[in-house]
Structure 1
Amino acid sequence: MEGDCLSCMKYLMFIFNFFIFLGGSFLLGVGVWVLVDPMGFREIVAANPLLFTGVYVILAMGSMLFLLGFLGCCGAIRENKCLLLFFFMLILFIFLAELAAAILAFLFREHLTREYFTGELKRHYQGHNNTDVFTSTWNAIMTTFDCCGVSGPEDFEDSLFRLLSPNKMIPEACCQRNSYPGDISVQHCVSGSVAFRHNKGCYSAVVDYFETYIYTAGALAIVVLTIEVCVSHTFIQILIIACSF
């Protein structure tokens, strides 16, 4: 009976971790491909701080999942207590890291408010300056999510951007793309014309975009980690009992 249970748990754990291994390999491959791509995509990513950071996040996630899946597969199929113990400790570390991240997010939630981002935008945003990381990141956000400012175009009033560019009401990143051909639309846009600019704030745009996925991803991550912890712990216990006879 114990042998059948051990065999069932072994193959269940192997299959489960094999899919994790494949997912990690895919993410790792995508990250490496972007960094070494000779066709110029690397330069595009490097010029955008938001995308550049995302590549390393993908690499880190891919490496972690790759290692997790590899240890789980090898430990299960070889019934190696050392590998399984290391696998269990790695899962526990990831679980605690997620818990710590959630606690930190709760403690520093005041830094994620509209007022905080608006103040930072007013103090540091420079407009069209690709050498400044803060400015480049905000330009990438506004062009990616078709938004303007934190709450709207009015966020640029009494800001560093207006001091540096007194003839512009809003930056070019707030202008609508592919709607009105030519530079005339950009001139109307930066002068404050409502018809040529994005009027939605980036705070709402980003929240709306991720709201659908963040809870699903978080719940899925918790479920997967919980299953991994339970399965690996049970498998280790069964393996220890089986080896003691």
Structure 2
Amino acid sequence: MWMDLKIVLLSEESKSWMSCLTQLWEGPCLREGHQVVHSSSQLHPLHLRGSLGTGGHGCVTLPVWPDMSTIWNFSRTMASAAEEAQKGSPVVVGLLVVGNIVILLSGLALFAETVWVTADQYCVYPLMGVSGKDDVFAGAWIAIFCGFSFFVVASFGVGAALCHRRSMMLTYLVLMLIVYIFECASCITAYTHRDYMVSNPSLITKQMLTFYSADTDQGRELTRLWDRIMTEQECCGTSGPMDWVNFTSAFRAATPEVAFPWPPLCCRRTGNFIPLSEEGCRLGHIDYLFTKGCFEHISHAIDSYTWGISWFGFAILMWTLPVMLIAMYFYTTL
């Protein structure tokens, strides 16, 4: 590439055109009667034109090699611009932004739902705690952390995708992988312990017979729990009133069968909480006795907690996995 320099020589004042060329090479010719005039047209950075003089007596055009540093800087600028243009497809960035927005909103929902689980609205924690299978609530506490972490990390991921920063995207991937692993643990823990509790009513029946009316701290706590459930749900025992008759229990040790074969709260009551007929209830008349078991209500409560923790958590994990894969691809293009 050449630089064309037009030099006008004044016949009266110029000593020689070679001396003027020498001065132009070293810098602008500043002698009296010489003036540098630049072309008004926009020129390429490597193709500059200049003219010198006040008259039109003569003209010399000299091809000159451009400065190598200029060529190098220009080439580097163009290469950098091309590389920047190739960084990250707008479609991939859009997918990452939308995917992470869904994750952060789902994280907030998971956080709120697991807070509800830990509040134990159905008050079944004593049943699970006495059996040592209360890790459904442990999964809920982990899910609280994961839900909030999903919100924070996904928000960071949106910024990383929009900023096209390699370091930010790597940080996002590492943090999201950690949260992903914890959420997997939460879902698996909640589901496996739920299955142990509700797959067979015999475990809950055994707890009821062992601790109802027992003179211990756990016994008093479970007695209050069963009294509340039987009163509110209008049920009796785990499978029905015959649970108190067919099996030995702490209640039977304290109350002979001839006195009352089942707890008095199994009796139907009026709006004033007075038994309709205590004698009819004691004899087992279906009009005065709750015949439905309480296991359905207990299993529904545990299932409600588990679905909120495990299945909703699994749904978030299934959405998060492809988003992470897209983020990994995007990271390789940065």
Alignment match of 1:66 (pick from 131, 148, 155): 148
1:162 alignment partner in structure 2: 252
Show the counterpart of 1:87. Answer: 176
- Find the counterpart in structure 2 of residue 239 from structure 1: 330
Between the aligned partners of 2:214 and 2:237, the Cα distance in structure 1 is 11
| Distance verdict in 2 for CA 1:27–1:56, change over 3 Å | farther
Q: Which has the higher helix share?
A: 1
For 1:152-206, what per-residue CA distance to the aligned partner results, in whole angstroms no more than 9, with x for missing partners?
01111232112223333322443445x4535243745763443233211122344
Deviates more, 1:6-15 or 1:211-220: 211-220
Shift in alpha-carbon separation, 1:225–1:212, aligned structure 2, 3 A: same
Distance 1:104 1:24 in 2: 19
Structure 1, unaligned stretches of length 5 or more? Answer: 35-43
Cα-to-partner distance string for 1:75-102 (whole Å, 9 max, x where unaligned):
2323422133211221133224434555
- What is the alpha-carbon distance in structure 1 between the residues aligned to residue 290 and residue 230 of structure 2? 9
Structure having the higher Rg: 2
Report if aligned partners of 2:110, 2:313 keep a CA contact under 8 Å in 1: no
Letter in 1 for 2:319: I
What is aligned with 2:233? 145
Letter in 2 for 1:240: Y
Change in 2 beyond 3 A, CA 1:198/1:130: farther
1:227 — aligned with what? 319
* Contact persistence 2:139–2:186 (CA under 8 A): no
Question: Is residue 174–residue 197 contact of structure 1 (8 Å, CA) maintained in 2?
Answer: yes
| 1:165-180 aligned within 5 A | 165-166=255-256, 167-176=259-268, 179-180=270-271
TM-score (norm 1): 0.68
For 1:240 and 1:85, the matched residues in 2 are separated by 12
Q: Separation in 2 of the partners of 1:123 and 1:8? A: 59
The answer to whether the 8 Å contact 1:28/1:63 transfers is no
Task: Count how many residue pairs are aligned between Structure 1 and Structure 2.
Answer: 228
Task: Name the SS of the counterpart of 1:90 in structure 2.
Answer: helix
In 2, Cα distance between the equivalents of 1:31 and 1:139? Answer: 22
Work out which of the residue numbers 103, 116, 120 in structure 1 matches 2:203: 116
Aligned to 1:133: 221
Quick one: which amino acid aligns to residue 8 of structure 1?
G
Supply the distance in 2 between the matched residues of 1:59 and 1:216 (Cα, whole angstroms).
12
Instruction: Output the CA distance in 2 between the equivalents of 1:61 and 1:189.
Output: 49
Distance in 1 (alpha carbons) for counterparts of 2:279 and 2:329: 72
Structure with more of its chain in strand, by fraction: 2
Aligned CA RMSD, in angstroms, stands at: 4.4
Q: Is the 8 A contact 2:238 2:294 kept in 1?
A: yes
Structure 2's unaligned 5+ residue stretches are 1-85, 128-133, 162-167
Residue 75 (structure 1) aligned with residue 75 (structure 2): no
Whether the aligned pair in 2 keeps the contact of 1:17 and 1:70 (CA below 8 Å) is no
**When the two structures are superposed, what TM-score results if normalisation uses the length of structure 2?**
0.53
Q: Which amino acid aligns with 2:316?
A: V
Counterpart-to-counterpart distance in 2, 1:27 and 1:105? 17
Opposite residue 263 of structure 2, the aligned amino acid is P
Q: Identify if the C-alpha distance between structure 1 residues 63 and 198 changes in structure 2 by more than 3 Å, giving closer, same or farther.
A: farther
Identity across matched positions, percent? 17
* Alpha-carbon displacement from aligned partner over 1:91-138 (angstroms, at most 9, x marks no partner): 1332244345555666x57x8423333233222211899872332333
Q: CA deviation at 1:214?
A: 6.7
Query: Shift of the alpha carbon at 1:225?
Result: 1.3
